[in-house]
């Protein structure tokens, strides 16, 4: 019941953009991100060079998705996906995700007991849905497992690979502050 309840009240659909941004990017998280960037500089540089995604954006992705690995979800992925596949609202989507999750288990990347994530089945420190995992997760440390749950090199490389495959342009900048013209309707922000 809790999974279905959360599916109906996703914060992305109930908050304004401003409220959402205040929630996901408070100054404390920005500060923590700068610290994590320094702490992981070597592996981030290596991953950045390979995938063309700047280190600060890999860390931002990590920070927004899971507060740098601190909040990865408390739901067992298989039962959550099975519930949503049965629920009916988006059953086709979640049934497909369930089969991808079972494939991940079969390949031995993680045990069913350890496969914990969000109520919607998003997993690990990069919060990949199972289909994203099968398409973009990377075994960067070469241990034979794509471990987006506990292995930072795999987490960072997987996030960078995801962004790269979706057309990330490392030679372009975005997200710059702008100055609005005098008299601009602030309600539109």
Q: In the 3-class helix/strand/coil scheme, how is 67-97 assigned residue by residue?
A: CCCCCCCCEEHHHHHHHHHHHCCCHHHHHHH
The residue among 29, 60, 90, 13 whose CA lies nearest residue 156 is: 60
Residue 4 binned pLDDT confidence (cut-offs 50, 70, 90): confident
Q: What is the pLDDT of residue 87?
A: 85
Please tell me the total number of residues recorded for the chain in this structure. 189
Q: Which residue out of 5, 27, 65, 187 is catalytically annotated?
A: 65
Look up the pTM and report it: 0.86
- In sign, the C-alpha dihedral spanning 114, 115, 119, 125 is positive
Say which range, 13-17, 27-31, 60-64, 177-181, has the weakest mean pLDDT.
Answer: 13-17
12 pLDDT higher than 70? no
pLDDT in tens, 64-116: 999 999 999 999 999 999 999 998 778 899 999 999 999 999 999 999 999 99
Is 65 among the residues known to form the active site? yes
The token duo for 77 is 């992925």
């Amino acid at each position: 019941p809790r999974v279905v309840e959360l599916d109906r009240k996703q914060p992305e659909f109930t908050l304004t953009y401003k409220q959402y941004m205040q929630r996901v990017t408070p100054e404390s998280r920005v500060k923590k991100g700068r610290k994590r960037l320094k702490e992981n500089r070597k592996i981030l540089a290596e991953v950045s060079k390979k995938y063309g995604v700047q280190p600060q954006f890999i860390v931002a992705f990590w920070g927004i998705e899971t507060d740098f690995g601190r909040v990865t979800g408390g739901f067992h992925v298989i039962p959550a996906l099975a519930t949503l596949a049965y629920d009916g609202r988006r059953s086709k989507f979640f049934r497909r995700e369930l089969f991808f999750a079972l494939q991940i288990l079969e390949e031995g990347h993680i045990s069913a007991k350890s496969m914990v994530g969000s109520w919607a089945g998003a997993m690990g420190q990069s919060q990949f849905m199972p289909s994203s995992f099968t398409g973009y997760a990377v075994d960067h440390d070469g241990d034979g497992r794509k471990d987006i749950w506990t292995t930072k090199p795999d987490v960072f490389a997987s996030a960078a690979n995801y962004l790269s495959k979706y057309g990330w342009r490392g030679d372009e900048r975005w997200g710059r502050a702008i100055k609005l013209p005098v008299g601009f309707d602030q309600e539109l922000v």
